[in-house]
Amino acid sequence: MRAVRTERHVRNGSSAQSECVCDNALCLAKVWGVDCSGDCEDPPDPCHACPLGHIKPEVSVQGNAEPSCAMCGAAKFQDQTQASVCKDCHPTRTHTNEGSTDVLSCECKAGHQAATGLECARCSVGFAKSSVGNQACTACLSVSLQTPSAA
């Protein structure tokens, strides 16, 4: 299929095929004639923006070639398209979902409870929380300590 024309140019006084230049970012494969004329054999796939929750850390050489879009991992999210890096949850927040699209997917870590803004507050002395989530810390159980008797 020869659908896309490439931009070709030859320097003045060129006498060798090696002096022909092609914008190969537009072509997956090139076919050249002796006079530096040619067409792309296969048009490249058009570029598409990575969706929310995904990134593309490198620019592809041609179209949407590798690397493809990758999902953001744990404790990260991406709330914009066409991103090259994932955003981190606040250090007091985390999540285990891949491909998160919103900062609200980040929940308070164990030992922390929701506070104002994006930050979570540490549980106060006498309170605890053993799981990830935005629920409040709960009061610790009362424990009486016995001192060993002298024998």
Q: How confident is the model over 4-30, as pLDDT tens digits?
A: 333 444 444 555 555 544 444 444 344
Residue 148, preceding bond cis, omega within 30 degrees? Answer: no
Mapped onto helix, strand or coil, the DSSP state of residue 23 is coil
Amino acid identity for residue 31 in this structure = V
Per the domain annotation, does 32 fall within a domain? yes
107 half-sphere exposure, CB direction, 13 A CA radius: 13
The length of the chain in residues reads 151
Per the domain annotation, does 94 fall within a domain? no
Per the domain annotation, does 20 fall within a domain? yes
Q: How many domains does the chain have?
A: 1
Q: How confident is the model over 118-135, as pLDDT tens digits?
A: 899 999 999 999 999 999
- Regions of the chain short of the pLDDT cut 50: 1-12, 20-36, 41-42
Per the domain annotation, does 12 fall within a domain? yes
pLDDT given for residue 8 in this prediction:
43
Cβ partners under 8 Å of residue 69, min gap 6: 50, 51, 54, 55, 56
The rounded distance, in Å, linking the Cα atoms of 75 and 109 is 10
Cβ partners under 8 Å of residue 97, min gap 6: 74, 105
The domain of 28 spans: 8-40
pLDDT given for residue 148 in this prediction:
65
pLDDT given for residue 3 in this prediction:
37
Rounded to 5 degrees, φ, ψ at 150 are: -80, 135
Per the domain annotation, does 117 fall within a domain? no
